[in-house]
Chain A
């Protein structure tokens, strides 16, 4: 597709289970970001991949969170032993450099609900 694709769009899980969230960036975009947004809140940075460089993981809230990006394209965000406070919308974005600056294009997000 032409945009950033995320799956699933909704995920309901039980506390303690592991979940995987997937992001398919726009073809050719070298940078990929994961953000988390709780209800009525701003975007909380999680992790940032740029090309072949080591990812910036400084925003991951705990060691239960991890992400990888295979082949410089698709990314998976994994949350182990989910907790209720993990409930949020997880947004993925990829970016391109046009007009001299880098603009982010967001996916529609995955709404995660931990019961």
Chain B
């Protein structure tokens, strides 16, 4: 099975930097995704990591350590529109197919 943990809620100030952590335990690991979900909307893709290290994409970066079963999403220069839930998802190769399992999400509130 999969066990994906992330904090339930976080609050940060506009213009600041915030790091959202995700730890996982899974068999057949085959990649880690971060999705953003605004209230009442569908999740949208943010980032993908399959090798160790940091992937940077504008204000957002994502890090992966496979040996530690650990990832984080780093958001820089926070904007009010970044208030959303951030979902960590692990792809696992099981029963001959790749499936994608989500954590419960971290609800980020950006305050002025």
Contact = CB atoms under 8 A, between A and B. Distances in A.
B42 A45 contact: no
A103 B31 CA distance: 11
Q: Is the interface of B mostly helix, strand, loop or mixed?
A: strand
Q: Is the interface of A mostly helix, strand, loop or mixed?
A: strand
A108 B39 CA distance: 11
A103 B50 CA distance: 13
A56 B31 contact: no
User: What's the interface size class on B, roughly?
Assistant: 20 to 34
A65 interface: no
A69 B45 CA distance: 24
A108 B38 CA distance: 11
Interface string B80-112: 000000010101001111111111110100000
Interface in A13-63: 33, 35, 40-45, 48, 50, 53, 56, 58
A14 B87 CA distance: 32
A106 B104 contact: no
A45 B96 contact: no
A43 B50 contact: no
A48 B44 contact: no
Contacts of A40: 107
A41 B91 CA distance: 19
Interface of B: 31, 33, 35, 41-45, 48, 50, 87, 89, 91, 94-105, 107
